[in-house]
Structure 1
Amino acid sequence: MSELLFPAPERWEVTTLGNVCAAGGGSIQTGPFGSQLHASDYVSSGTPSVMPQNIGDNIIDEDGIARIRDADVNRLSRFLLKEGDIVYSRRGDVTRRALIRREQQGWLCGTGCLRVRIGSEAIPQFVSYYLGHPRVREWITRHAVGATMLNLNTKILSALPVILPPRSEQYAIAGLLGSLDDKIAVNHRIITGSKDVLQALSQSIFIAKSRQVELREIVELRYGKALKASDRIPGDIPVFGGNGASGSHYRALVSGPGIIVGRKGANAGSVSWSDSDFWPIDTAFYVIPRNSNMPMEFLYLLLRTTPLRGEVGDSAIPGLNRDMALSIKVWIPDVEAAMDIAQQAHPHFKLQEQVEKENRTLAEMRDGLLPKLMSGEVRIRDAEKVVEDAV
């Protein structure tokens, strides 16, 4: 009998993820290797390719997602995704996974990822939530291999212990938690729409350009400060690392609003915004303006259009070269034009902050209910009342 990772009702089946997939005609498969898909193969318009940096908390983050040509889609058709598949990051944070929704069917399981196809033996939505249980995440981390960077493979995932309640309860639990994720997804679309407006607004920088300078003449990039997850105390202060927002803490290191630039990791060179006070950890830089007349909103849009990722080194753990980044030449408008751009952008930053705060609340509710529903500690009908008030 497979290992039981946490207490569960006796009538629930105890098995492994590999057995579930095999019994239902599914599979666990590695995405294409780098030799099959090179950086030069990516295009600006085409089929999205899901990479580790696109895997959020059970969702795909489409912001900046890589794309491939139709010819590569046909060549790599065995790696295409279907609705209900679950995609894992194969290295780094190996506990990250995302359920593939209908609108993502036909996308590619990209390099650095693993695809779990559940098949007919279980409800994929239920399994995806089970995989988010803290004990399951701990098991995966404990069994992953690698000293410098954790790595996940098909053998490890196949051996992962799984519990399966009757199908009716799988549907009920998945539907309940899914209603919270649906609300989060709606909010993400609002955020994406707002980001699109900001992206269009950033183009006005080039229209209003006045002079060209090195980036170091207008900003500093300062190192964040280490803050282990185990040392964080629950609070409302967002924590930012090399991959963007990553949890919260009870006190801030930097006063907001502020800009965070990824220093280490898959998203090195990425640019994030915090409307409130925040804590940047040591895998990130935070931005200090050299000219007090240049508003932070403008600097954020400027940095978003600056090719920082071109200064990321190609190593086992990618890193942004600060000196090279600050040497990039950028066009800037006069102060009056910069202020006008910032004023137009300001409401969108406020909207994103408000919606992201709501999403954090919804995610905390989901993550709190998940282990209690999985163990049978909370009955579905009781949880329904809590969720109804939230959505």
Structure 2
Amino acid sequence: MTEWRTYQVGDIAQVFDGPHATPKKTKEGPWFLSISSLDRGRLDLSESAHVSEEEFVRWTRRVIPESGDILFSYETRLGDAALMPGGIRACLGRRMGILRPKRDVVIPEFLLFAYLAPSFQETIRSRKIHGATVDRIPLVDLPKWPIRIPELAEQRDIAAVLGALNDKIAVNDRVITASIDVCQALYASISKAAIETSELGSVIDLRYGKSLPSVKRKQGSVPVYGSGGIAGSHDEILVPGPGVIVGRKGTVGAIYWSQESFFPIDTTFYVSLKRSEIPMEYMYFALQDLKLERMNSDSAVPGLNRTNALATRLRVPATHEASTFVNRVRPLFELKHQRDQESLTLAALRETLLPQLMSGKLRVRAAERIVEDAV
């Protein structure tokens, strides 16, 4: 094990930030990298927008993100970062910065993990500026902040161990995306072919979730759903799974799928089938198709108007078509769930190994054996 040295950030990387404005978004063109593009150390473009070629020229006058750059947020979601991959044309959004590694001192993959390590996260917490509305990293001071790194050979070893976990998670993400795409295409086909239309309220009921304050939750494995998605866990099941959850207050009309039995709280509805021949999987896509987020009945506190929602009309597939659909998509839903759970386990292992490797408490060879067993 080589000796670790303390550097200043500016000794090992250049610091850049993006424009202090927001361009007009488009549905195609170069990617617009925003805070939503960062997902706990990984780049996630699923919620990212695009910009036109004209806007791209304007928004890259300061810097063009390159392969190997470390993307980070310097306002609001402090501490999150991601590695910029190759083959992507993109510009930085507001509140986004870049660390461009000096590769004779640090490799990009290791710099990402060093940034995410508890020691540097504590540096961010202790040196951030508390603003009136949001906290921020002072970019003028960031190059002077301390960061510990070993020699290049050990950096490569550590990055390979942790990177193997990220690679497996990335594979799972691709499998999940492909599964969802297939299910979406099958739904589109069966829905388009459906002859019958019916009011939503004759096919399902939207039942109210139940109040469950955080202080009353007990440690358990049952996912708790609010209007923004999973909001914790509990030891009691309210609704047997699989099932569909609909945002009622807050994130109006948001649609979530739970493969497991779950506990929806009082900011949500959950779906109860009235017609057993219509599978829950079909309703998951059908409800997304209905754009329920447009049915906001309360301007002060957003809320889904249940009566209006149940009065909307939807296409209902024939019984044999519904049966064919569910036989094809149900295994894909289960596959998606399995890969989701595996990725959560791998991410937890990565978060466990990261501080131990970065502090020197765990040797690389021991970590390699742990990762080999996991992947």
| Structure 2 length-normalised TM | 0.80
Residue type at the aligned position of 1:208: A
Matched with 2:116 is 132
Residue type at the aligned position of 1:173: I
Q: 1:42 touches 1:66 (CA, 8 Å); kept in 2?
A: yes
Shift of 1:183: 0.9
Matched with 1:333 is 316
> 1:82 and 1:214 mapped to 2: Cα distance?
49
Matched with 1:191 is 176
Q: Deviations over 1:140-161 (max 9, x none)?
A: 45646357x7443444982754
Shift of 1:247: 6.5
Matched with 2:54 is 71
Residue type at the aligned position of 1:63: S
Instruction: Mark the CA change 1:374 to 1:344 in structure 2 (over 3 Å): closer, same or farther.
Output: same
Could you tell me which of 10, 29, 36 is aligned with 2:17? 29
Shift of 1:362: 1.3
Could you tell me which of 193, 202, 216 is aligned with 1:207? 193
Partner SS state of residue 82, structure 1: coil
Partner SS state of residue 373, structure 1: helix
Matched with 2:357 is 373
> Does 2:44 correspond to 1:61?
yes
Q: 1:202 touches 1:305 (CA, 8 Å); kept in 2?
A: no
Shift of 1:344: 2.7
> 1:64 and 1:127 mapped to 2: Cα distance?
25
Seq. identity, %: 30
Partner SS state of residue 83, structure 1: coil
> Does 2:12 correspond to 1:12?
no
Q: Deviations over 1:133-186 (max 9, x none)?
A: 345445545646357x74434449827542222222222111110011101111
Shift of 1:311: 6.0
> 1:155 and 1:136 mapped to 2: Cα distance?
15
> 1:96 and 1:146 mapped to 2: Cα distance?
19
Instruction: Mark the CA change 1:68 to 1:306 in structure 2 (over 3 Å): closer, same or farther.
Output: farther
- Structure 2: runs of 5+ lacking an equivalent: none
Q: 2:245 touches 2:271 (CA, 8 Å); kept in 1?
A: no
Going by fraction, where is strand more abundant, 1 or 2? Answer: 2
Q: 2:252 touches 2:304 (CA, 8 Å); kept in 1?
A: no
Residue type at the aligned position of 1:75: R
> 1:273 and 1:194 mapped to 2: Cα distance?
14
Q: Deviations over 1:22-66 (max 9, x none)?
A: 3345214145523xx13xx322x3323233333222122333532
Q: 2:110 touches 2:159 (CA, 8 Å); kept in 1?
A: yes
Partner SS state of residue 68, structure 2: coil
> 1:145 and 1:327 mapped to 2: Cα distance?
46
Structure 1 residues 211-230: aligned runs within 5 Å: 211=197, 213=199, 218-220=204-206, 222-223=208-209
Matched with 1:323 is 305
Q: Tell me whether 45-54 or 199-208 shows the greater mean CA deviation.
A: 45-54
Matched with 2:71 is 87
> Does 2:166 correspond to 1:181?
yes
Residue type at the aligned position of 2:183: L
Could you tell me which of 160, 171, 175 is aligned with 2:156? 171
Instruction: Mark the CA change 1:10 to 1:33 in structure 2 (over 3 Å): closer, same or farther.
Output: same
Could you tell me which of 326, 346, 354 is aligned with 1:362? 346
> 1:156 and 1:240 mapped to 2: Cα distance?
41
Could you tell me which of 97, 102, 106 is aligned with 2:89? 106
- Structure 1: runs of 5+ lacking an equivalent: 1-8
> 1:80 and 1:264 mapped to 2: Cα distance?
40
> 1:161 and 1:304 mapped to 2: Cα distance?
47
> 1:116 and 1:378 mapped to 2: Cα distance?
29
Partner SS state of residue 74, structure 1: helix
Partner SS state of residue 289, structure 1: strand
Q: Tell me whether 284-293 or 162-171 shows the greater mean CA deviation.
A: 284-293
Q: 1:89 touches 1:97 (CA, 8 Å); kept in 2?
A: yes
Structure 1 residues 235-274: aligned runs within 5 Å: 236-238=221-223, 240=225, 244-245=229-230, 252-261=237-246, 270-274=254-258
> 1:199 and 1:53 mapped to 2: Cα distance?
24
Instruction: Mark the CA change 1:150 to 1:226 in structure 2 (over 3 Å): closer, same or farther.
Output: farther
Q: 1:55 touches 1:97 (CA, 8 Å); kept in 2?
A: yes
Matched with 1:117 is 99
Instruction: Mark the CA change 1:254 to 1:136 in structure 2 (over 3 Å): closer, same or farther.
Output: farther
> Does 2:36 correspond to 1:48?
no
> Does 2:261 correspond to 1:277?
yes
Q: Tell me whether 271-280 or 193-202 shows the greater mean CA deviation.
A: 271-280
> 2:75 and 2:109 mapped to 1: Cα distance?
23
> 1:231 and 1:341 mapped to 2: Cα distance?
37
Q: 1:84 touches 1:117 (CA, 8 Å); kept in 2?
A: no
> 1:50 and 1:321 mapped to 2: Cα distance?
31
Instruction: Mark the CA change 1:51 to 1:252 in structure 2 (over 3 Å): closer, same or farther.
Output: farther
